[in-house]
Amino acid sequence: MIDDKIRIRKKEHISGFLKGVGESDNGFGDVVLFNNSFPELNFQEISLETTFLNKSISAPLMINAITGGTKEAEEINRDLAYIAKELNIPMAVGSQSIALKYSDAVKTFMCVREIMGKEGVVIANLSANKSVEDVKKALEMIEADGIQLHLNVPQEMCMAEGDRNFKGIIKNINHIKDSIGKPIIIKEVGFGISYETAIKLREIGIEYIDVGGKGGTNFIEIEDLRYESSKYNEFYSWGIPTAHSLLMTSTAYRECNVICSGGINKSEDVIKSLILGADIVGVSGVVLRTLLENGRDSALEVLRELINNIKIYMMLLGKGSVCELKDNSYMLKGELKEIEEYIKKY
């Protein structure tokens, strides 16, 4: 039986997420795009198809890691998997550490692969401090196409029961990379990957990075809401805004496959992410909130609309396919321009 403390924490993450103010500036307002009056395209022929983890997907969009482990979490996972399957986009499950400890939690993750079928892209999730054996078990549990190893130091530090020792994590990631034959995605959870972190990941040959920047779900606030009175208010603004982190990561490590996530809930930000160098964009908060407040069909509709609006932006820019977006011109202003200047020092 799952320990009550863990079950309650999972519940509190969802209720804290719903209660929290969350959203802050994701930095994409500083990217300026220009209208193309001669797009030379037929809207029906614009394609969002791309590949991710060696499978073909219908849009450069994924449902990012959220939950698993409890009965309520299984319901959420089932709904999210249904949505991902309908849209033929990837889905990452939430941290599977609960299922490594309690066998009755396994089915709450396995259902995602069952619903998405063999063709679907399903991604496992664990903390980057786990052992090779645990990573292998998490991958096998859901026949995953790859695994996200998450980095969440700020969250752990604001959790009474959180980890306090973060020595040896990069060495551990390197060891995992050398020991499993599946792609590894190193992922932040809303605090952003810095230029120097991206360089460290390049040095050990990690091929996928999810920048997980600041701008949406705020895990310091979510953890803080679990206390009777606020303890960590001063850290709420900690983190690298998503657009800044994306620019840093794609500049520091050009060959990397970059997933851009953190506060992305409109198609304009998806387009800007793809132009700034992302291969695919991850969403969590926007889909979870709609699912919990208005149900599965509304959440599906929100993503359908997002996808349609991405296509409209592609028409406005005169780009017929996802790979063409990387060559699109843009102008940077404000803080993002300063970040561009700042990273020239490296």
Residues that bind ligand FNR (CB under 6 A): 13-14, 17, 64-67, 94-95, 125, 148, 150, 187, 189-190, 212, 216-217, 261-264, 283-285, 288
Q: HSE of 76 in the Cβ direction (CA atoms, 13 Å)?
A: 26
Cβ proximity to ligand FNR: between 11 and 200 the closer is 11
63 DSSP β-pair partners: 91, 283
Three-state SS for 61?
A: strand
Nearest to 49 by CA among 91, 92, 88: 88
Quote the tokens at residue 100. Answer: 């490594």
Cβ proximity to ligand FNR: between 225 and 316 the closer is 225
Cβ proximity to ligand FNR: between 108 and 261 the closer is 261
Cβ proximity to ligand FNR: between 270 and 325 the closer is 270
d(CA 239, CA 261): 13
CB-CB contact of 124 with 139 (8 Å): yes
Q: What Cα–Cα distance (Å) separates residue 30 from each residue in 27, 89, 106, 108, 227?
A: 6, 28, 43, 40, 36
The 10 Å Cβ neighbour count of residue 271 is 27
Smallest distance, Å, CB 296 to ligand FNR?
A: 17
Smallest distance, Å, CB 324 to ligand FNR?
A: 26
Closest residue by beta carbon to ligand FNR: 216
The 10 Å Cβ neighbour count of residue 167 is 8
Cβ proximity to ligand FNR: between 224 and 317 the closer is 224
Smallest distance, Å, CB 327 to ligand FNR?
A: 27
d(CA 302, CA 222): 24
Smallest distance, Å, CB 155 to ligand FNR?
A: 9
Cβ proximity to ligand FNR: between 60 and 320 the closer is 60
What b/e string do you get for 330-344 counting C-beta neighbours within 10 Å, with b at 16 or more? Answer: eebeebbeebeeeee
Smallest distance, Å, CB 341 to ligand FNR?
A: 27
Smallest distance, Å, CB 172 to ligand FNR?
A: 16
Cβ proximity to ligand FNR: between 90 and 262 the closer is 262
Smallest distance, Å, CB 211 to ligand FNR?
A: 9
